[in-house]
Amino acid sequence: MSLQKITFQNKEGQTLVGRLELPVDQHPHNFVIFAHCFTCNKNLLAVKNIGKALTSSGFAVLRFDFTGLGESDGDFADTNFSGNVSDLIAAAEHLEKNFKAPTLIIGHSLGGAAALFAAAEIGSVKAVATIGAPSNPKHVQHLFKSNLAEIEKSGKAIVNLSGRDFTIKKQFLDDLEHKSLPNVVERLRKPLLILHSPQDDTVGIKNAEEIYVAARHPKSFVSLDGADHLLMRKEDSQYVGKVIAGWSQRYMSIPKNDSLKTKHQVVASLGIEDGFTTNMKVGSHFMIADEPKDFGGNDYGPSPYELVSAGLSACTAMTIQMYTKRKGWKVDLVEVHTSYAKSHAEDCENCETDNAKIDTFHREITLAGDLDEKQKIRILQIADKCPVHKTLHSKTQVITKLVDPFDYAQDKGKWKSLYDVR
């Protein structure tokens, strides 16, 4: 995954700041805009996790701070729901002008309502997904209901939301009075995916039902059973990202050959904000590598040594099955269990010193089949002849050089800027 800082102007001329996440080693087949929840920002962990799931499926994802939030200019007190919708439209125009027009828009909570309004105005958008969205933007008023009287009387009030103080002005409430989401949804006529948790105590599940009833087909609903409103568990946000990625591709145009030019079999991409969570393209497949939490990682994927162990296990199983089939021996199942550690060599003469430890792969093989003892001994010998095993035992070399990232861009014009990480 490549991460690029994006800035663009809203209709008031204020600068909005976002991040454009790009898939590793391939041109993004479609661009996505993500609208975050009320008073949240682009760096909410759930937003990042959903974005990673989408980039792993070949999408490019733009997440940005609405006016007055995060890194974006402006005063939050002067914003309203209409301003959020306008910011989304400005983001779409920026993508269309500088990259490619967005075809999917995703919104979380009040951002979901804003995404539905914006989708009606953005012609390039082919599909919409909402997460825990209210069926009426006025729903957000319950967050500061104890301050409504003061807002009506004084024109504004300081409201504490999730431990932070925000100034809410009467114009914010007045703007909500004129927004009818059911009417917009009914006229939208674009594929809609509604994701909502039955346990959402911030925006109740009834809201999902009201949006679904108002919408026209094609429309889909996915229950996020057990999830909280902000998708604080990584499992929930990752699941949401995968579901949206799979669902939306039914409505997207996806080229068959969208890989970037590379002569290598594996590409690993790690952004500055990602810790150890590394996006990888392995052959024509996409996956994530990481480190365990006790090592400072997020445990989103296997560690580098687990990947090496996986290569040894897979190669061993393939080699055994290939050999036994050629011999006409019936082996119904081969299982290879492998783990890596630093340990003392079996013939170690100075085992009391730490530097006597060597890289050690512990491998255990189970065979299901009608085999005699002689055949089993031969299979064990063949396991040691698998190509990865031989590579690990042979003298190897790693030749490294720095290359310009633009060397892997097929289009030296427009696409070149995608990998200009600022």
We report the CATH number of the domain holding residue 380 as 3.30.300.20
- 416: CB partners within 8 A, 6+ apart: 406, 409
What is the structure's pLDDT at 225? 97
CB 223 within 8 A of CB 240: no
- 184: CB partners within 8 A, 6+ apart: 116, 117, 120
What is the structure's pLDDT at 272? 67
Indicate whether 235 and 343 sit together in one domain: no
Asked if residue 346 belongs to a domain, the reply is yes
CB 355 within 8 A of CB 344: no
Asked if residue 159 belongs to a domain, the reply is no
Interval 83-106 mean pLDDT: 96
Asked if residue 331 belongs to a domain, the reply is yes
Q: Which helix (H) or strand (E) holds 47?
A: helix 45-55
Asked if residue 299 belongs to a domain, the reply is no
pLDDT exceeds 60 at position 150: yes
Indicate whether 364 and 221 sit together in one domain: no
Indicate whether 320 and 214 sit together in one domain: no
Indicate whether 206 and 99 sit together in one domain: yes
Asked if residue 295 belongs to a domain, the reply is no
Residue where the block lists tokens 């190669």: 315
pLDDT exceeds 90 at position 358: no
What is the structure's pLDDT at 418? 43
We report the CATH number of the domain holding residue 204 as 3.40.50.1820
What is the structure's pLDDT at 298? 83
Q: pLDDT confidence of 409, banded at 50, 70, 90?
A: very low
What is the structure's pLDDT at 261? 55
- What stretches of 57-129 show up as alpha helix (H) in DSSP? 81-98, 110-119
**How many domains is the chain partitioned into structurally?**
2
pLDDT exceeds 50 at position 199: yes
CA distances from 137 to 116, 117, 215 (A): 11, 10, 16
Averaged pLDDT of the chain: 86
| Alpha-carbon span 130 to 125, nearest angstrom | 14
| Alpha-carbon span 288 to 217, nearest angstrom | 35
What is the structure's pLDDT at 355? 63
Q: Which of 218, 251, 284 is the last residue of a domain?
A: 251
- 289: CB partners within 8 A, 6+ apart: 268, 277, 278, 280, 301, 302, 303, 304, 307
What is the structure's pLDDT at 417? 44
pLDDT digit string (tens) for 114-144?
A: 999 999 999 999 999 999 999 988 877 877 7
Indicate whether 104 and 180 sit together in one domain: yes
Indicate whether 241 and 325 sit together in one domain: no
Q: Which amino acid is at 405?
A: P
| Alpha-carbon span 268 to 196, nearest angstrom | 33
Candidate ranges 47-51, 53-57, 104-108, 147-151; pick with highest mean pLDDT = 104-108
pLDDT exceeds 50 at position 293: yes
Write out the residue range of the structural domain in which residue 217 sits: 2-139+176-251
CB 363 within 8 A of CB 286: no
Indicate whether 18 and 89 sit together in one domain: yes
Q: Check residue 36 and give left, alpha or beta (phi > 0: left; psi -120 to 50: alpha).
A: beta
Using alpha carbons only, what angle is made at residue 33 by residues 27 and 39, rounded to the nearest 5 degrees?
Answer: 145
What is the structure's pLDDT at 277? 82
Coil, strand, or helix at residue 107? Answer: strand
Asked if residue 352 belongs to a domain, the reply is yes
pLDDT digit string (tens) for 302-335?
A: 999 999 999 999 999 999 999 999 999 989 999 9
Q: Which helix (H) or strand (E) holds 206?
A: helix 206-214
Residue where the block lists tokens 């994927």: 301
Which of 282, 257, 284, 285 is CA-nearest to residue 267? Answer: 282
Indicate whether 224 and 78 sit together in one domain: yes
Asked if residue 131 belongs to a domain, the reply is yes
Coil, strand, or helix at residue 87? Answer: helix
Q: Which amino acid is at 358?
A: I
pLDDT digit string (tens) for 41-77?
A: 888 989 999 998 999 888 999 999 999 999 999 999 8
Q: pLDDT confidence of 90, banded at 50, 70, 90?
A: very high
Indicate whether 247 and 308 sit together in one domain: no
Interval 195-212 mean pLDDT: 95
pLDDT digit string (tens) for 244-289?
A: 999 999 999 887 755 555 567 787 777 666 788 887 777 777 778 8
CB 136 within 8 A of CB 112: no
Cα-Cα end-to-end distance for the chain: 14
Using alpha carbons only, what angle is made at residue 47 by residues 169 and 301, rounded to the nearest 5 degrees?
Answer: 160
Indicate whether 10 and 133 sit together in one domain: yes
* 151 burial level (CB within 10 Å; 0-12, 13-18, 19+): buried
| Alpha-carbon span 367 to 115, nearest angstrom | 54
Indicate whether 25 and 110 sit together in one domain: yes
CB 16 within 8 A of CB 87: yes
Q: Which helix (H) or strand (E) holds 152?
A: helix 148-154
pLDDT exceeds 60 at position 198: yes
Indicate whether 49 and 187 sit together in one domain: yes
pTM of the model: 0.71
Interval 159-166 mean pLDDT: 71
CB 19 within 8 A of CB 27: no
Interval 193-199 mean pLDDT: 97
Asked if residue 132 belongs to a domain, the reply is yes
Of residues 163 and 98, which shows the higher confidence score? 98
